[in-house]
Amino acid sequence: MVPPEAAAELAHLVARSDVVFAGPEEASLVVPGAEPAAMAEALLRLGPGRPCSSSGRAAPSPPPPTGPSARTPSPSPPSTPSGPVTPSSPDTSRPSSTARRRASGCGPAPCAGRSPSPCAATGRTCPPRRTRPPPGRGRHPLTGPPLSPEKHAQEHRHEPFHGRTAVVTGASSGIGAAVAVRLASEGASVVLADIAEEAGTDLAERIRVDGRHAAFVRCDVSEEKDWDALRDRTHALFGPVDVVHSNAFTHRDAAAHELTAADWNRELSVNLTAVYFAVRAFVEDLRAVRGSFVATSSVHALFGLPGYPAYAAAKGGMCALVRQLAVEYGPEVRFNSVLPGPILTETWDGVPEDDLELSARATALTRLGRPEEVAAAVAFLASEEASYVTGTSLTVDGGWTVKKESK
């Protein structure tokens, strides 16, 4: 039997609701954690109710007691609930449970089993919908395998790179630093590679202070021997590599006839040949783990601006190389590139304010971008969320490439 005070409290709940749950499994939702049979019995003792919103059934009236054991129950002491107990006169001082559910976005469809999260209004968790997936769904040879339970759990925890190792070049500042911080914050063990040793070492230390895994390794990306050393050091620290972000760059602002051969070769070595060296160093790791490679190109690969001949040639060649690599090493490895526009990094230090405003107005969003916004794009391309994205060039420029001033 249900204690009278429990029945009174249940009556109070029913009075403040426009739904009565008729069955034991439905009654268990009224008071989470309560015994289903006891709650159902308490509901039945309250008398017939209105139809349940999910089943359409009304709570039946209990049958009258019969037989020699039937007797009138002894009176119970009055209960003292926190509010008035008047089942026939619902409290209208606050919205009904249905209104609260609708206001919170948990309407009939989610409460029918489509939402695995607790309802914001009621705190109840909807039961999972018991449906059988179509035969072969998620296992078709042309769609690839579904996410493993481990990877799904990692995505759910907002750590899509948990247990993975990432190498980021040009990581001491700017976009590379933002990417290193982003990947580490999402669970990756990150190796920061750069020639700026002090800044890179300091950043790795700050990442470790936050409880993440990071290390700095000096690497001149234009030297193949440095790539070999970077690979060996990364393996010793964290094991095989899952993600490579080729981000290091250099630039000398000059017209083509003003560049020396050494200037030209240096820009192509750092901005383009480094991608080739990175592939030679890490492609076996990436193939073994079905990893991802992201290169930082530029909007200069698409449009011409004075003073960028070698830089534009290298960045345009990078986009073409990334497309080729995606074909060469798919399906084991995904290759993509990001094309940043005017992103406010240390390279803009010393640029006059008028020029900064001119660049900002040249974008559809009328502002300069932040390194963290490019890092978000890199993290997406490197993650399982982009599992069907390869060989693409993702522009991150605030609409710089689409806005033109013309009458």
Active site residues: 311
- In this structure, what token pair is assigned to residue 369? 């971008």
b/e 220-249 (16+ beta carbons within 10 angstroms → b):
bbbeeebbebbbebbeeebebbbbbbbbbb
Concatenated DSSP letters of 199-238? HHHHHHHHHHHTT-EEEEEE--TT-HHHHHHHHHHHHHHH
Cβ within 8 Å of residue 148, ≥6 positions away: none
Q: Residue 36: how many CB atoms within 10 A of its CB?
A: 16
* The amino acid at 255: A
Residue 370's SS3 state is: coil
247: closest CA among 182, 343, 167?
A: 167
Q: How many residues does the chain have?
A: 407
Nearest to 242 by CA among 274, 284, 182: 284
- Residue 341, classed as helix, strand or coil, is coil
* Residue 61 to residue 251: CA distance in whole angstroms: 84
Task: For residues 207 and 209, give the distance between their C-alpha atoms in angstroms, rounded to a whole number.
Answer: 5
CB of 179 closer than 8 Å to CB of 214: no
If you ran DSSP here, which 8-state letter would residue 119 be given? P
Q: Which region, left, alpha or beta, applies to residue 350 given φ > 0 means left and ψ of -120 to 50 means alpha?
A: left
CA dist., res. 14 & res. 23, Å (int) = 15
